[in-house]
Amino acid sequence: MQTNFENKVTETYERALRRGELYFIESTIANITENDIEFEIRFAPSLAKKPTAEHTEESPTKHKVVDPFAPYSQELFVQEFEHHVILLNKFCVVPNHILVVTKEYEEQSNSLNQEDLATVWYCMMQIKSQNTIAFYNCGNNSGSSQPHKHVQVIPLPSDVRFSPPINAIIYKHQNKMPGEIFSFSELPYVHYVALLDPQQLSGHHGHNYKEIVSQYLTKNYLSLVNAMTEGFRASSLTGSFSYNFLMTHTWIMIVPRSSEKYEQISVNSLGFAGMLLVKREEELEFVKNVGLLRVLEGVAVSKDKDQLIDNIHISV
Site for ligand B4P, rule CB under 6 A? 42, 47, 50, 68, 73, 76, 87, 89-94, 99, 137, 143-146, 152, 154, 268, 270, 275, 277
Q: Among 94, 76, 133, 95, which Cα is nearest to 86's?
A: 76
Shortest Cβ 23–ligand B4P spacing (Å): 9
Residue number with CB closer to ligand B4P (31 or 226): 31
Helices within the chain (DSSP H only): 4-18, 114-126, 167-170, 198-201, 209-234, 269-272, 281-290, 292-299, 305-315
Residue number with CB closer to ligand B4P (95 or 231): 95
Catalytic residue among 84, 97, 148, 150: 150
Residues 161-177 as b/e (b if ≥16 CB within 10 A, e otherwise) read ebbbbbbbbbeeeeeee
Strands 77-80, 84-88: pairing is: antiparallel
Contact partners, residue 112, CB within 8 Å, separation at least 6: 136, 151, 218, 221, 245
What single letter denotes the amino acid at residue 43? F
Would you list the DSSP string of 143-201? Answer: T----B-EEEEEEE-TT-SSSSTTHHHHGGGTTSPTT--B--TT-SB--EEEE--HHHH
Catalytic, 55? Answer no
Q: Helix 292-299 vs helix 281-290: angle between axes, to the nearest 10 degrees?
A: 100
Residue number with CB closer to ligand B4P (10 or 215): 10
Q: Which residues pair with 41 in a beta bridge?
A: 30, 276
* Secondary structure of residue 265 in the 3-state scheme: strand
**Residue of this chain nearest to ligand B4P (CB atom):** 68
Residue number with CB closer to ligand B4P (12 or 144): 144
Residue number with CB closer to ligand B4P (143 or 213): 143
Shortest Cβ 149–ligand B4P spacing (Å): 10
Residue number with CB closer to ligand B4P (30 or 181): 30
Contact partners, residue 9, CB within 8 Å, separation at least 6: 78, 86, 88, 96, 98, 127
Shortest Cβ 126–ligand B4P spacing (Å): 19
* Secondary structure of residue 137 in the 3-state scheme: strand
Which residues are catalytically annotated?
Answer: 150
